[in-house]
Amino acid sequence: MSAPDRPSRQEISDAVTDLGWRLVLGAIYAEATVSSLTEAGEVAALVLVAVGADGQDHVNIDIRADRVVVRLRSAAAGTVTNVDIAAAQSISSAMMERGVPLTPSSVQAFEVAIDALDIGAVRPFWQAVTGYVDEGGPSDLTDGLVDPAGRGPAIWFQQMDAPRPQRNRVHLDIDVPHDLASTRIDAAIAAGGTLLSDSRAPAFWVLADPEGNEACICTWQGRD
């Protein structure tokens, strides 16, 4: 796929934000609120019609009785392409005609980050114990492992230069829409957390709970 078919993160966000979509961890997401599983199925069918036959390998739909979450990302390219942006626009138009607004209200993605001195030594253990597979395509993850069923959080490995016994070696990364990061950080601090570092913001902020266990709030920004 040529470079023009792979827009930058900023271009992706600019193209879809006003339509109710958000770029989170290499994919674009939107959510529709529904009143029943039957309605959820109808919305999902509308999404499939909107993306057409050529978009089938770009769309993932999570159906629940109260919501439908749509994820767009090129399976072949391993990233968001102009095809995905066009699909988001088509889906948004179809939802608008039906009177179903799209929002990013609960969109997020989780990653588990594991610090390691020898990534090559510890990675096979985590792959075996989780049953995960190698992440395919371009990615922001280092030596990423993913759930082949697409349900569990991704795992990535952070290179350590020396042991750091004073801190935990496993932490959560919570990827959220860029315009909701400050709200999530404020909520974490109000719940007893501490902001340890914002030196890499807006890519990520490092927070800790009252006992020092760490988590990062992450966005797509500051990574190009």
Task: Please tell me whether residues 93 and 155 are part of one structural domain.
Answer: no
Task: Please tell me whether residues 20 and 86 are part of one structural domain.
Answer: yes
State how far the Cα of 74 lies from the Cα of 163, in Å rounded to an integer: 38
Q: What is the identity of the amino acid at 145?
A: L
CATH number of the structural domain spanning residue 177:
3.10.180.10
Q: Judge whether 224 lies within some domain.
A: no
CATH number of the structural domain spanning residue 48:
3.30.1360.20
Percent of the chain with pLDDT over 90: 71
The three-class DSSP label of residue 179 is helix
Q: Could you read off the pLDDT of 107-149 as tens digits, one per residue?
A: 999 999 998 889 998 999 999 989 999 887 666 666 889 999 8
Task: Please tell me whether residues 99 and 129 are part of one structural domain.
Answer: no
- Backbone conformation region of residue 93, classed left if phi is above 0, alpha if psi is from -120 to 50, else beta: alpha
**Vertex 78 angle, CA 100 and 3, to 5°:** 100
Task: Please tell me whether residues 209 and 113 are part of one structural domain.
Answer: yes
pTM, 2 dp: 0.88
Domain carrying residue 52 = 3-103
Residues of the chain whose pLDDT is less than 70?
Answer: 1-4, 137-142, 164-167
Looking at the structure of the chain, the number of domains it has is 2
Task: Please tell me whether residues 115 and 211 are part of one structural domain.
Answer: yes
The pLDDT, as a whole number, for residue 139 is 63
The three-class DSSP label of residue 54 is helix
State how far the Cα of 169 lies from the Cα of 164, in Å rounded to an integer: 8
Q: Judge whether 138 lies within some domain.
A: yes
In this structure, how many other beta carbons lie within 10 angstroms of the beta carbon of residue 196?
Answer: 15
Identify the H or E element spanning 157: strand 154-159
What's the number of CA atoms in the CB half-sphere (13 Å) around residue 32? 28
Q: Could you read off the pLDDT of 182-197 as tens digits, one per residue?
A: 999 999 999 999 999 9
